[in-house]
Every structure is written in C-alpha cells, then in structure tokens.
Amino acid sequence: MAKLVEPHGGKGLTICLLEGAELEAEKTKAAGLKKVEISPRVKGDLIMIGNGGFSPLTGFMTKADWKGVCEDFLTADGTFWPVPVTLDVSQEDADAINAGDEIALYDAEGDEIMATMQVSEKFEKTDADKTWESEKVYMGEGTPTVEEFWKIAKEDHPGVEMVMNEKPMNLAGPVKVLSEGEYPTKYAGIYHRPAEARKIFEDRGWSDVAALQLRNPMHRSHEYLCKIAIEVCDGAYIHSLVGNLKPGDIPAEVRVKCIDALVKHNFVEDNVVQGGYPLDMRYAGPREGLLHAVFRQNYGCSRMIIGRDHAGVGDFYGMFEAQTIFDKIPTPAEPGKALVCQPLKIDWTFYCYKCDGMASLRTCPHGKEDRVLLSGTMLRKMLSEGAELPDHFGRDEVVVILRDYYENLEEKVEIKTHTAATG
C-alpha cells in the first residue's frame, strides 16, 4: 500500500481546530474573554495551525522561537522552521494581558472570533528587532549589502513593509481554533485540510507527490513544470494561495477558474489534484520556498517544485536562490524535526520557436530571441495594459478568462516587473 511522507515535526498532524460539543463549549467561553483583533496574515496562520497545515506548531511563537527561526531556521526545541509565525498586538492590548490569561482572537473583517489562546509569554519587538528580522528573513542575493537592501526595501518590499508595520508587542502561546473563516464555503472543493488532501492522495495510491505553488494564473511555464513533476512522481498537487496578495495580483477565484480550464483541456485529470490554502503571501523569497515545502509535507507532498524566482518580489532575490537555500539549511539530529519534503529543482522554462515546444535553459541551445520567456508578472502587466500576448504565452482558454477579468476591472494597478522577467 502506498505510504505518504510523514507530517513535519515528528508528531503527526497537530490539529488545533475544535469540532462538535468541544467547539460549542469553547465558543461560549470565548464570548466572555478579552477580544484581541488580529490581522489578515495572523488569521491565515491561525487556520493553518488549526487544520494541521503548520504542524507541529500548536500556537504562536515565543521570543526564543522567533529569534531561533530568524537566525538558525530552528525553533527553541530544535525543529526546523524557516519563517516566524508570531502574533503582534498593540501596546494597549498587551498592557491589559498577563501570562496565563486566556484571550479571544477576533477577525474584525469577518466579525468572528477565530480562536482562543492561553498566553504563555508577551514580548516586545522593537524597531531594531524588526530591522534585524527583515535582514535575516527577507534579504537575498539580489541586494548583496545591507545598505543596498534598505535603499529600496522599506517602500518596495511588501514583506519587509509588513514586518516594519507590525504592532510593537507580541503574544505567544497555544491556541484552540474555532473557525476556518470563509474558506470552506467560498472555496468548497478547493480548500483542503491536510488530512483531506492526504486522503485524496492515498485513495489514488500515490506516495510520491509533487506540489506546485501558485499565486499567479497558471501559464505555460507552470503547466510545463507540473507535467515534468507528473512524469517523475505519482501525481501533482496544484496548490494555490487563496489568502491575501498584494495590489495588482489576480484574485483567487479567477485563478481557480483558470486552473480548472487548463486541467480540463491539457492534463490527464487522474494525475493532478487542485487545492487551495488560506495564507497571505509573505514575499520572503527563498525562506518562503522553504515554508512552502514544510506545509506541503504536512499535506502529504514529498516534493516541492522550485523553479525560477520562487515566491520572489522585485529584484531582491537571485533567480535560483530558492533552490540553493535547500542545500544550506540545518538538519536537526532528532527524528522528525528535519525537513523531509525535497525540492524538485527545475531550470528557467519557456516556449522556444526553434525547438517547437516548451524547453529550459538545460535543454534549449537557441538564443533568447527565439524564446517566449514566460512570467506570471509579465502576463499580468500585459493583460492589464490591454497588450497583445505573444503566441504560446498562455493557453487560449486561460487567456479568455483573464482578458474578461481585466476588461471588467474598474481600478487599474501598476504592475512592476522583475528585470529578468522580460529576458
């Protein structure tokens, strides 16, 4: 019988989402607790902690966890983890809360208490701490010196901006999650809990599953990456972000519709599964590639497709830095605490007129004038400006959906491209 990769952390899936009578009792208790408003990013993190996607985490990180993750990719107990998962709160809220208190975590946008939390610690992140975190987690090879990084990061890096704008205090401690928000209904059949994805893979007899991360519409390069994975693995999990993006990115419901059309017309459907997950993008480039591998392992994936500029933004990262970082991370000695999901490293892919098909820098001997260099950012820019797309840039059935979206868009957002995206 096929056996999927074990969840990260060596503890199985750590489920903090309550159900049934336990859920109803906790909701009643939550109504009487102090309410602390949370950000959209924290909401997504909570849901992933709840459904097991962030196993083995059972709550928000302590200061020791935060420092260890930023500096050494390790939580305080020695578990590999690449990006901080913290809960920032106002000074006013922190002053009214002590270690040992129980609080309710409130999503104002959805007008819903998302979780309860047993506060184990509160700590400050000063501006100096946030600066240090930004340099450790978000600075890449695209800006080789700290001075170059800060010349542009505060205004042009959405991940750094998010960190620097965090509230000054942080709360740590375990959570009991009461809701998955709008995701199970808005994305019914697409939003999966890790246990649900694992069941789908097991029912298909898969053991070696490759995940394809998507935040842009699925273009020809993504399609090619996915088909390479299907050739060498049992199947592919097209797993797209359905949480919040940055201005100018295409909404999840449009991207899901594009994937549906592409899979229907261009894949053997038995070999691919489409899913969605509720996180906000952090735009942490290589570090985020590692995070993608961590939680895809929890979903049952043994491979993470890592192509060109994975989770990148602007010119902050080297084009293949998200691949090479996998070779540099620590390997904890304790079983289960190391990252097991491995990268499926694929070179820059494109359509080549002379090759008469999709190719990569490893397989195509021709010049860039013969290549249609595919980029999700470039696709969005051209569509938003009403420009004609070159042949083989995207599948016709996908382009029709995207053109319809842009033609009905009331407010245009300027889209910046990576210098390498245009070839």
Structure tokens at 94: 């922190």
Q: 3-class DSSP state for residue 255? A: helix
Q: Give the H/E segment covering residue 356.
A: none
Q: At what angle do helices 396-407 and 252-266 cross, to 10 degrees?
A: 160
Q: Which residues fall within 8 angstroms of residue 304, CB to CB, at 6 or more apart? A: 210, 211, 213, 289, 292, 293, 296, 341, 342, 343, 344
Q: Is 355 exposed, middle or buried (0-12, 13-18, 19+ CB in 10 A)?
A: middle
Is residue 170 part of the annotated active site? The answer reads no
Is residue 216 part of the annotated active site? The answer reads yes
Catalytic residue among 170, 216, 271, 298: 216
Q: DSSP per residue over 134-198, as a string?
A: IIIII--TTS-SHHHHHHHHHHH-HHHHHHHTS-SEEEEEEEEE---TTHHHHTTTTB--HHHHH
Distances (CA, A) of 248 to 14, 43, 220, 377, 405: 35, 22, 21, 9, 12
What residues does 349 pair with on adjacent strands?
360
The one-letter amino acid code at 202 reads E
Catalytic residue among 41, 193, 198, 215: 215
Q: Is 233 exposed, middle or buried (0-12, 13-18, 19+ CB in 10 A)?
A: buried
Q: Point out the residues that are catalytic.
A: 215-216
